[in-house]
Structure 1
Amino acid sequence: MILAEKVVSLRKKAGWSQEDLAERLDVSRQSVSKWESSNSTPDPNKIILLADIFEVSTDYLLRDKQEVSHPSQSSKKNEATQLHLEQASNYVNYKVSASWLVSKGVSLCVVSPIGLFSCLAMYEMGYFDSSRNTAVMAGLVFLLLMIAASISFFYQNEPVRRRNPPS
């Protein structure tokens, strides 16, 4: 069964005229008539709206033949996961918040040696009155603090993952 036949069948099943359907879709009656006679096809947004109005899937409307699935042949690998807009938005928001935390942690890891090099440079320029070991220790403390801070950003990512798992 093609899209045109499905639209006619579903419209008649609902007890609507072409004008009734056109009004629900905010199109002209002539547009519905053209769809039903296969002279034109609705744009993708109208197909989605048709699926919502008739409470069928877009696959049902668009596929010429409905695939018959046998219970013995069904497997999780072949099942498609349907996401609602809210679920997709939650997933995107989760990924954005997780990526910000990871990028902050990576940035701190990248800049952490700067403190060590700065302390050694200040020692060489005479800003440290004590020994070279003191300058190295001060630089290492700075380096370790920066790495600890970056690890905290990586760790903060874990609760986000546990609280808002992508569904």
Structure 2
Amino acid sequence: MDIGKRIVSLRERRGWTQKELANRVNLNVSVMNRIESNDRPIKDSELLNLANVLEVSTDYLLGRSESSTLSQTEKKEAEFQAFANNPTLQKWYKELPKSKEEDLEKLRKMWEILKDHGEI
């Protein structure tokens, strides 16, 4: 199964429209349509966002794995990445990929605290 079909299948399992998924991963609906129909290659950042939102590994989307189930570690990372890539967060947060590893680790600890206390 190709990447577009896998995305469609996962989206439909959740009962989401193409527009809903596009909004969740911050893509234009026409771009989402072209990705799902394999008319446009997927960018690395889009692949990561889709995997996070659909709660699967990038390997599954790429067809390198037949298991769509994430390990506990992968789930935690996917949750964190979804939080980190949320387009509604403040502008400073957009600079996260350029941050030092120690800053990312501090942010991960803050994320865990917020999550453990039910704030997210």
**How does the TM-score come out when normalised to structure 1?**
0.39
Matches within 5 A, 1:96-111: none
Q: In the aligned structure 2, how far is the partner of 1:64 from the partner of 1:38?
A: 17
What is aligned with 2:28?
28
Q: Is the 8 A contact 1:3 1:64 kept in 2?
A: no
CA contact (8 A) 1:2 1:64 kept: no
Cα-Cα RMSD: 2.5
Aligned residue in 2 for 1:115: none
Identity %: 32
**Local SS of the residue matching 2:7:** helix
Partners of 1:64 and 1:6 in 2: CA distance: 12
Task: Give unmatched runs, 5+ long, in structure 2.
Answer: 68-72, 81-100, 106-120
Name the structure 2 match of 1:66.
66
Instruction: Give the aligned residue type for 1:44.
Output: D
Give the superposition deviation at 1:63.
Answer: 2.0
CA offset digits 1:54-109 (Å, max 9, x no partner): 11000000126638xxxxxxxxxxxxx97x69xxx46xx9xxxxxxxxxxxxxxxx
Matches within 5 A, 1:17-166: 17-63=17-63, 66=66, 89=101
Q: 1:42 Cα deviation (Å)?
A: 1.9
Distance 1:20 1:55, change over 3 A: same
Cα distance in structure 2, aligned partners of 1:65 and 1:58: 9
List structure 1 segments (4+ residues) > 4 angstroms apart after TM superposition.
none
Q: How many residues align?
A: 74
Please name the residue that 1:130 is paired with: none
Residue 22 of structure 1 aligns with an amino acid whose one-letter code is A
Larger Rg computed on CA atoms: 1
Q: Deviations over 1:19-63 (max 9, x none)?
A: 111111111111111011110122101100111101100000012
State how far apart, in whole Å, the 2-side matches of 1:59 and 1:41 are: 16
Structure 1 portions without partners, runs of 5+: 68-80, 94-167
